[in-house]
Structure 1
């Protein structure tokens, strides 16, 4: 997929400890045929003085998923939870009042989130977004 200056994208982290997480960014410019220069929306440089910019392999970049409106989530729903400045893929294990408990298989952690920090998990497949709800 070709990306252009100004495109809103998400970067899939391939770093150990961050696998399965996605970070919002904007394309600054293509770099050759297989890389793009991006500026992150939530990650900062090491001195925290400005947004982090990186050259990323295009294979690690996807468009920003569309917003899927839901009024709540159910146990076993696959969701993205906003945590540590990025979106992490997990599964709802139980619900207590306003909190949804999400299990992350890559870290074996279970963390409680309010509805506002969750979104429907979607996969980018063959150039289309596929929402995943109630997968077991």
Structure 2
């Protein structure tokens, strides 16, 4: 991974149980002087969540550099997705990797291979899945059925 500058928007991969396959949006506050670590402020996660505080603050954490990636480019919202197309679904304050397994109007059924769950989402909660390869964002190849 490359270097990230103060104020840069990134996505943080959490490796904790229950979060595998998710990326949380964050902003880099600083690079720590010793070791490959960054201080980040999450966009959607709050301190002491759920908090009864009337003024909740964004969660700030120290994250290893290998758990941070640049924000993927913003692509136009697709008008449709195809069966088995790889997508990211926004749920529980993060982007989760999955595949399209069905459709009912503008509602899509997404299968998550990390949890083997099938959940439904409006099209507005989905984005095309991109992969970071050698520092470049590339479209993820559509899965093909085994015959």
Q: Structure 1-normalised TM-score?
A: 0.95
Give the aligned partner of residue 9 of structure 2: 8
CA distance in 2, matches of 1:52, 1:23: 11
CA distance in 1, matches of 2:4, 2:137: 16
CA distance in 1, matches of 2:79, 2:69: 26
Give the aligned partner of residue 40 of structure 1: 42
1:97 Cα deviation after fit:
1.5
CA distance in 2, matches of 1:129, 1:56: 22
Give the aligned partner of residue 70 of structure 2: 63
1:94 aligns with 2:102: yes
Give the aligned partner of residue 22 of structure 1: 23
Give the aligned partner of residue 104 of structure 1: 112
CA distance in 2, matches of 1:120, 1:34: 30
Contiguous gaps of at least 5 residues in structure 1: none
Contiguous gaps of at least 5 residues in structure 2: none
Deviations 1:69-126 (CA, angstroms, capped at 9, x unpaired): 2221111100000000000000000111121000001111111101100001111111
Larger relative strand fraction: 1
Q: 1:9–1:62: 8 Å Cα contact kept in structure 2?
A: yes
RMSD: 1.1
Deviations 1:7-32 (CA, angstroms, capped at 9, x unpaired): 00000110111000000000000013
Runs of 4+, deviation exceeding 4 Å? none
- Count, aligned residues: 136
